[in-house]
Amino acid sequence: MSLEQLVDARLILVTGKGGTGKSSVAAALGRLCSESGRRGIVVEVDVFQSSMPDLLGRTPEYEARPVAPGLDVCNITWQLALSEWLQRAIPVQRLVRMILRNRLVGMFLDATPGVREIVILSRIATLCEQYDQVIVDLPASGHAVALLQVPWLADDLLDDGPIHQRAGEIIALLGRSDTRLAVVALPEDMVVNETIELVEHLAQVAPVLGSPVLLLNCASSPSLSFDERTLLDRLAARVVADSPAAELVAAGRWERDLELATAESLQRLSSLGLPLVELARMGALGGFHGGPEVVVRQLARALARALTQQTGEQQQEQQQEQDGGSP
C-alpha cells in the first residue's frame, strides 16, 4: 500500500502508541482532504478530553460540526451511538429513552462485551455512507486492537440477529480496498518496539485490514557529518558550564541523538517491509512555539510533499521500465 492509497482512501484508521501524534496526523489528513475539495470528517472515538479544540479549533460533539471548508469533526460517544442504533431499530423515541434509562438494560450493556464497540463502529460505517472520506483518530495501540477485533468476535459468538448482521457489514467495510490503516510512531526504541508489536497484532486480529502505512513522526533527517558529531563531544568536555556556548553544544548533541535515533528507527521499521513515511519534527532545538494547530498544518504540508515525491518516483520508475523495455 502506498501513501497515495492512504490519502485517497474512503476510511482511514489512524493508530499507534500513545503520544506519537495520532490526533495531529488525523487532523492533518483532514486538512489535506479539505484542500482536495472532498467532503471529509475527522472522528474521535469516545474521548473524554478531546484534542481537536487545539488541533482543529473546535470541540467535537456527537453530531458532526464544520471546522474547515468541506471538513467536519465529531466525537462518537458510545451512549449516543447506542441511542442512534436503537432509534433505527425502534422508531418510537419515547420507547428508546425508556430502554436507555432502564437500570437492567444498563446492567446488561455493562455485562455484555462488545456492544459499545459495535455501536461505535456502526456509527463509523454510517459516516462512511455520508462522507467522501472518514478519518478515525483511533485509541492507542492495545485499545485500537480491542475495538477492531470486536466485529469478528461478534460474528463468531452470535449466530443471528442485528448485532451479528451489523458485525458482518463492519467486517466488509474494514476489508474494502479503500479502507486503509496508518500507524504513527516516534524515533524512540520503546515506541518502535510497540509499533512492531502492534502491526503484528493487527495482522492477526484484523487480517482483512491489509498492511498499514507507517508514519515516523518527529523524525530528524541527517544534517550533521561524522566529524561534526565527534566535535560536539569534544566541545562538550571544554565549554564552561551554564554558558551560552554550553547551551548551544547541548542543543547540537540533542539534535545529533535525534538524528541517530531516527536512522536507527527507520532501519528497524523498514524491516517490516511496509511503506514508511518520515514526518519531520517541527521547530528547532526541541521547542516549537507555533502551537498544535500549526503543527497540524505543517504535517499536512509534509504529507503533501511526501505524496508528490512518491508519485514522482513512481513515474520515474515507470519511465525507466518503458525505456528499458523499448528497443
Ligand X SMILES: Nc1ncnc2c1ncn2[C@@H]1O[C@H](COP(=O)(O)OP(=O)(O)OP(=O)(O)O)[C@@H](O)[C@H]1O
The CB density around residue 148, as the number of other CB atoms within 10 Å, is 22
CA 38, distance to chain mean position in Å, is 19
Closer CB to Mg ion, residue 74 or residue 82? Answer: 74
Span interacting with ligand X, options 36-44, 82-90, 122-130, 280-288, rule CB under 6 A: 280-288
Q: Does 23 bind Mg ion (CB under 5 A)?
A: yes
Q: Are strands 71-76 and 276-280 parallel, antiparallel or unpaired?
A: unpaired
Task: For the sheet with 40-45, list strands across it.
Answer: 65-68, 71-76, 40-45, 133-137, 11-16, 179-185, 213-219, 276-280
**Burial class of 153 by CB neighbour count within 10 A (0 to 12, 13 to 18, 19+):** middle
Q: Does 281 bind ligand X (CB under 6 A)?
A: yes
Q: Does 217 bind Mg ion (CB under 5 A)?
A: no
Q: Does 30 bind ligand X (CB under 6 A)?
A: no
Closer CB to ligand X, residue 40 or residue 187? Answer: 187
Contacts of 304 (CB under 8 A, 6+ apart): 32
Q: Does 51 bind ligand X (CB under 6 A)?
A: yes
Q: What is the dihedral of CA 4, 8, 11, 14, to 10 degrees?
A: 40
Closer CB to ligand X, residue 55 or residue 154? Answer: 55
Span interacting with ligand X, options 15-23, 118-126, 243-251, 257-265, rule CB under 6 A: 15-23
Q: Is 222 helix (H, G, I), strand (E, B) or coil?
A: coil
Q: How far apart are CA 18 and CA 21, in angstroms?
A: 8
Q: How far is the CB of 94 from ligand X (least distance, A)?
A: 38
Residue among 52, 144, 174, 295 that touches ligand X (CB under 6 A): 295
- Show the site string, 191-230: x = touches ligand X by CB under 6 A, - = not: --------------------------xx------------
Q: Does 114 bind ligand X (CB under 6 A)?
A: no
Backbone angles phi, psi at 6, to 5 degrees: -65, -50
Residues 40-79 that bind Mg ion (CB under 5 A): 51
Shortest-Cβ-distance residue relative to Mg ion: 23
Q: Is 206 helix (H, G, I), strand (E, B) or coil?
A: coil
Q: How far is the CB of 20 from ligand X (least distance, A)?
A: 5
**Do residues 227 and 233 make contact, with C-beta atoms less than 8 angstroms apart?**
no
Q: What cell was used for 277? A: 513515511
Q: How far is the CB of 221 from ligand X (least distance, A)?
A: 13
Q: How far is the CB of 144 from Mg ion (least distance, A)?
A: 11
Span interacting with ligand X, options 2-10, 70-78, 146-154, 282-290, rule CB under 6 A: 282-290
Q: How far is the CB of 281 from ligand X (least distance, A)?
A: 4
Q: Is 37 helix (H, G, I), strand (E, B) or coil?
A: coil
Closer CB to ligand X, residue 71 or residue 218? Answer: 218
* Nearest residue to 17 via CA among 204, 215, 163: 215
Q: How far is the CB of 277 from ligand X (least distance, A)?
A: 12
**Do residues 125 and 169 make contact, with C-beta atoms less than 8 angstroms apart?**
yes
Residue among 60, 70, 212, 292 that touches ligand X (CB under 6 A): 292
Residues contributing to the site for ligand X (CB under 6 A):
18-24, 51, 140, 217-218, 279, 281-283, 288, 292, 295, 299
